[in-house]
Amino acid sequence: MNREEAKNKIVELKEELNQYNYEYYVLDQPTVSDAYYDQKLHELIALEEEFPEYQTSDSPTQRVGGEPLDKFEKVDHRVPMLSLGNAFNEQDLRDFDRRIREQVGDEVRYVCELKIDGLAVSLRYENGQFVQGATRGDGKTGENITQNLRTIKSIPLKIREEETIEVRGEAFMPQKSFLALNEQRKKAGEDQFANPRNAAAGSLRQLDPRIAANRNLDIFLYSVGEWEAATTSSHSEQLQYLKELGFKTNPETKTFDSIDEVIQYTEEWTIKRSELDYEIDGIVIKVDSIDLQKELGFTAKSPRWAIAFKFPAEEAVTKLHDIELSVGRTGAITPTAILEPVQVAGTTVQRASLHNEDLIIEKDIRINDTVVIKKAGDIIPEVVRVVTDERTGDEQVFRMPKTCPACDQPIEKIDGEVAWRCVNPNCPAQLKEGLIHFVSRNAMNIDGLGEKVIEQLFDHQLIHSIADLYKLQKGDLLALERMGEKSVSNLLEAIEASKENSLERLLFGLGIRFVGSKAADTLAAHFKKMDNLINASQEDIQDIPEIGEKMAQSIAAYFDQEEARELINELSELGLNMEYLGAEVEADTDSVFFDKTIVLTGKLEKLSRNEAKQQIEALGGKVTGSVSSKTDLLIAGEDAGSKLDKAKSLDIEIWNEAQMLEALEA
């Protein structure tokens, strides 16, 4: 066989085998025997070995994975992979439906999908070729696990159009693969996985892709991320297009016109979930229309147009032996139940949160009680109720102490709050928890500074505050246990590198109450510099969309503290970046919107509110959610309500949609 003949034969075999893979792993409808498939695969392997110049990345022979990696690289998601809000009962779903219809009207269709209990991943294709796969991570940054994802045979290495597109899905381990894996580990004397979710996540985070290749993972695709050439107008159309490209989507997905049908679907699958060969922990409900999704927009953490209905949690009965107290970074003292170990939803539970003293009193929970526990959302263990019939008289009523368990200083309960708090600013438990939070992945992301290292540094009195991290010396670190020359050098380099982080990471790391990573990003993008935020009033902060009154009050109160300002000054002097490093848009200073504060209200016909907001902000305007004396312009669509009335009372300029469109096109 000459080279041209070999090249043509390789192309023919690749197309033939990829089609067989699609029929077997995606459609579950094989058209050839395993023996015939193996024969063709071995023929392709032999040709590629003889003519390696014709071997390509989309060949079925390339699924076994490459050489082991030293570590996973970070991947920034171009479109964030957000989490979803939760619904736990019928009323939660009806409230979700009511909020949707109040904002966009009654013409709403919902798509319902089984919520696969696995690992969320992103797959990127360029010109039809699979080029990168990543974990969700914190939603903004994940890990590059391309080599491991290539081993999943239901993931096409080449799609049917030369598209550049990023898609999202849930990688999982089927029940039969999970049982076979645990049996294999049992025979080898190795620890068994607690559940298929942990097994799938552990498999995809192996540095050696050959391990993932032997785990028989699968995937369902459920959405599109970045897609510049988007042509679909609904989520259901997107799913259909994914199928046409060769992706595997869940066959149980349904579209409904009413929330009653959605609720019926959730009830059916609550009963039928055990019939599946893979685990699900709920149902995801999404507004079908892409335009309505854009109009509904997002909160700081999740889309307003989607929600996850979580199945009722599995319960178990066990003994509560003791109640321990822990002090968090904000001083909140949290009681935790110490339990007789018991299996719940596939994992062994020995501890469960009791949340606060009021809950313990309300449920009359006592030490030595027999209790019923469950996993809230199948994740967090909690005590549901006491089995009072099992009481023997040996039970002890729990009393909250008068002093902090970590520093022995008085504790207090703030009006309007249920938690007892230690108000000692030098409480070692608070300082330690604050430092652990500061170096965490979503905050300053300092590699090598895990919880155990922080505790070691703290216990040796090498650090007492955030600023002390940036004063650590090599000699001090080398004196610690399990800290060699290389690990110390790597740690100091990571600490130094963290000085270059963008402002939002520092804001989140400071641990200001109610400020999560998304809110920190919003604040940093708005104020640009730390000094601007420090000097902002509560009203200035509250004017930002997605920043509520409670959060704005907390931020303003934090920066009013002399200790907080001193810490910021010290960190600045130590070289930490105090500016937002996100992408800047060059605004048109000649635009009528430039440097104006604008409120959108009512229903727009030509643009969704989100589209209008984006166009106005691109021209230098600031779109806020509430009308105040600082509002320069209100744009009112149909059925404008109280915001229009307030704007009139404050004599604020008011436009209709036509005036806005004319100004946008000027």
Q: Which residues are catalytic?
A: 115
CA dist 167 and 121 (Å) reads 9
Question: Would residue 235 be called left, alpha or beta, if left means φ above 0 and alpha means ψ between -120 and 50 degrees?
Answer: alpha
In this structure, what DSSP letter does residue 22 have? Answer: I
295 and 103 Cβ atoms separated by less than 8 Å: yes
Q: Which residue, chain included where needed, has tokens 């009203």?
A: 539
**What six digits make up the tokens of 54?**
């014709």
CA dist 481 and 475 (Å) reads 13
CA dist 323 and 335 (Å) reads 6
**What six digits make up the tokens of 356?**
């606060």
In this structure, what DSSP letter does residue 464 have? Answer: S
Q: How many other β-carbons are positioned within 10 Å of the β-carbon of residue 277?
A: 10
Q: How many other β-carbons are positioned within 10 Å of the β-carbon of residue 426?
A: 10
One-letter amino acid of 604:
L
CA dist 326 and 440 (Å) reads 19
CA dist 98 and 91 (Å) reads 10
Class of residue 100 by CB neighbours under 10 A (exposed 0-12, middle 13-18, buried 19+): buried
235 and 286 Cβ atoms separated by less than 8 Å: yes
β-strands 306-310, 85-87 pairing:
parallel
Q: What angle do CA 502, 553, 80 make, to 5 degrees?
A: 40
Q: What are phi and psi of 306, to 5 degrees?
A: -145, 155
CA dist 523 and 529 (Å) reads 10
* H/E segment holding residue 190: none
β-strands 280-287, 332-344 pairing:
unpaired
Q: What are phi and psi of 210, to 5 degrees?
A: -65, -25
167 and 225 Cβ atoms separated by less than 8 Å: yes
Question: Radius of gyration of the chain from Cα atoms?
Answer: 28
Nearest CA to 653 out of 612, 593, 591, 607 is that of: 593
Cα distances from 244 to residues 27, 249, 434, 531, 569, in angstroms, run 12, 10, 49, 52, 57
Q: What is the secondary structure of 594-630 as a DSSP string?
A: TT-EEEEESB-SSS-HHHHHHHHHHTT-EEESS--TT
First to last CA, the chain: 66
Instruction: Classify 591 as helix, strand or coil.
Output: coil
Nearest CA to 177 out of 222, 114, 221, 219 is that of: 219
Instruction: Classify 544 as helix, strand or coil.
Output: coil
CA dist 284 and 169 (Å) reads 13
